[in-house]
């Protein structure tokens, strides 16, 4: 297949850029002396995860149990389910473990920890569980110095379990995610947050160990902090996901440049509103997603940056508006009344997304293009 044979809109992967991004991150983790566990929620694609593993990644991180099931079926067994587990999902987790999947769960509260321990004891299974640590107030987790960190650790270690019964759970380690890094845009600020993330998670691990509790794994990560960390003393592994494609949010953060963006949406000009300086595309928010992550950043890219088919940005041209199946492309620097001349009906363009994870989720497949222009189809997972 070649590019002109693809029906638009379509999610297009630049394989050369993707492989370069993978090599860059893996090389950095190797230099810092830590294992790397990529977060495959960005792509939900076996071929991409295989490329990450081939480069040296050890294990994967998932955001849904369906991802865990499908990646396990594809030959990935060392899997961290990095969303707080609830009791109703434990039977699916049990099935995976009994089929041979080395599935790790996370908790950040006493109720969830107790539920895992009790369910594990009832089933004769010992779940490996990590405690999620909050190092930046971004989302979930236990703060490193909270008393309940030790309370959760003791439940997972089996304290209070009936004498002679299996513990049902095993405390495997701690993990954190400095998601607030997406709000930063200077090297110094990113390096400072990376150190805050590292130090907080290491401190939580130290408190558990000082209390006589095991804590083998210290897992940190986000794409910006992984690339900004100066050292990772006390950390055993790093997780990151969007680095494999990068996107406009990451470009604004400052951890990539335009030539690193490996995911785009292939679209076609289907009409014009000349008086408004608009070209109408067949890629609306159903293709790009509703994610407007750059709106709060220094440079707002609307619903996406327009590029030529070789990936070169069209200066000033952005998807300024989007309906369900219609995208509005305009030059934000000037009113271009000659847009129908510059971009006639039938013109094909690439739109770089704000958030690669969200845009990828709009498509059932990727069209992966090699350096010689050959395109192959890679399937993508859906659902929960």
Query: Do 16-244 and 258-379 agree at the fold level?
Result: no
pLDDT in tens, 172-203: 999 999 999 999 999 999 999 999 999 999 99
Average pLDDT over residues 129-146: 97
Contact, 21 vs 243, CB < 8 A?
yes
pLDDT of res. 163 = 67
Residue 354 has pLDDT above 80, yes or no: yes
Strand partners, 362: none
DSSP string, 162-191: PTTS--SEEEEEEEE--GGGGG--SHHHHH
CATH assignment of 258-379, given 3.30.2320.50, 2.30.30.830, 2.40.37.20, 2.60.130.10?
2.40.37.20
Structure confidence at residue 110 as a pLDDT band (50, 70, 90)? very high
- The pLDDT confidence band at residue 167, using thresholds 50, 70 and 90, is confident
DSSP single-letter state for residue 302: B
Q: Terminus-to-terminus CA distance in the chain, angstroms? A: 31
Mean pLDDT of 301-318: 96
List pLDDT tens digits, range 69-94. 999 999 999 999 999 999 999 999 99
Burial 157-181 (b: 16+ CB within 10 A, else e): bbeebeeeebbbbbbbbbbbbbbbb
Percent of all residues in the chain with a pLDDT value above 90, rounded to a whole number? 97
- The beta-carbon contacts of 110-115 under 8 Å, at least 24 apart in sequence, are 110/148, 110/151, 110/152, 110/155, 112/84, 112/85, 112/86, 112/87, 113/152, 113/155, 113/156, 113/169, 114/155, 115/85, 115/86, 115/87, 115/90
Quick check: 150 and 191 in contact, CB under 8 A?
A: no
| Across 16-45, average pLDDT | 98
Per-residue confidence (pLDDT) for residue 58, from 0 to 100: 97
Choices 3.20.20.10, 2.60.120.1440, 3.30.200.20, 2.60.40.420: CATH for 16-244: 3.20.20.10
Please determine, for residue 101, whether its predicted confidence score (pLDDT) is greater than 80.
yes
Return the pLDDT at 378. Answer: 98
Q: Above 70 in pLDDT, residue 129?
A: yes
Q: What is the mean pLDDT of the chain?
A: 97
CB atoms within 10 A of CB 131: 29
Helix (H, G, I), strand (E, B) or coil at 271: strand
pLDDT, position 1: 86
* Spans of all domains in the chain: 16-244, 258-379
Task: Tell me what pLDDT residue 159 has.
Answer: 77
Tens digit of each residue's pLDDT (9 = 90 or more) over 203-245: 999 999 999 999 999 999 999 999 999 999 999 999 999 999 9
């Amino acid at each position: 297949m070649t590019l002109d044979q693809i029906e638009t809109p379509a999610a297009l992967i630049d394989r050369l850029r993707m492989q370069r991004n993978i090599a860059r991150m893996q090389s950095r983790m190797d230099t810092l002396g830590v294992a790397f566990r990529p977060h495959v929620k960005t792509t939900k694609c076996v071929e991409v995860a295989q490329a990450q593993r081939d480069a040296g990644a050890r294990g994967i991180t998932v955001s849904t149990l369906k991802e865990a099931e499908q990646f396990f079926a594809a030959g990935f067994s060392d899997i961290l389910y990095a969303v707080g587990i609830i009791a109703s999902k434990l039977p699916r987790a049990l099935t995976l473990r009994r089929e041979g999947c080395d599935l790790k769960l996370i908790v950040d509260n006493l109720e969830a920890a107790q539920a895992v321990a009790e369910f594990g004891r009832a089933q004769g299974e010992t779940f490996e569980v990590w405690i999620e640590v909050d190092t930046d107030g971004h989302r979930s987790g236990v703060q490193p110095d909270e008393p309940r960190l030790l309370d959760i650790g003791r439940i997972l270690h089996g304290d209070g379990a009936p004498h002679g019964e299996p513990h049902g759970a095993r405390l495997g380690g701690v993990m954190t995610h400095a998601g607030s890094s997406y709000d930063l845009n200077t090297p110094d600020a990113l390096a400072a947050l990376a150190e805050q993330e590292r130090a907080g998670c290491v401190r939580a691990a130290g408190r558990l160990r000082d209390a006589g509790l095991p804590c083998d794994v210290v897992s940190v990560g986000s794409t910006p902090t992984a690339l900004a960390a100066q050292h990772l003393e006390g950390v055993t592994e790093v997780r990151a996901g969007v680095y494999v494609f990068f996107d406009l949010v990451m470009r604004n953060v400052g951890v990539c440049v335009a030539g690193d963006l490996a995911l785009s949406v292939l679209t076609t000009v289907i009409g014009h509103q000349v008086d408004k300086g608009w070209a109408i595309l067949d890629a609306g928010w159903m293709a790009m997603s509703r994610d407007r992550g750059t709106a709060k950043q220094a440079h707002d890219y609307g619903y996406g940056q327009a590029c030529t088919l070789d990936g070169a940005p069209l200066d000033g041209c952005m998807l300024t508006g989007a309906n369900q199946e219609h995208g509005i492309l305009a030059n934000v620097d000037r009113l271009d009344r000659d847009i129908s001349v510059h971009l006639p009906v039938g013109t094909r363009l690439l739109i770089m997304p704000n958030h690669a994870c969200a845009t990828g989720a709009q498509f059932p497949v990727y069209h992966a293009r090699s350096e010689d222009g050959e395109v192959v189809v890679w399937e993508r997972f859906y659902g929960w």
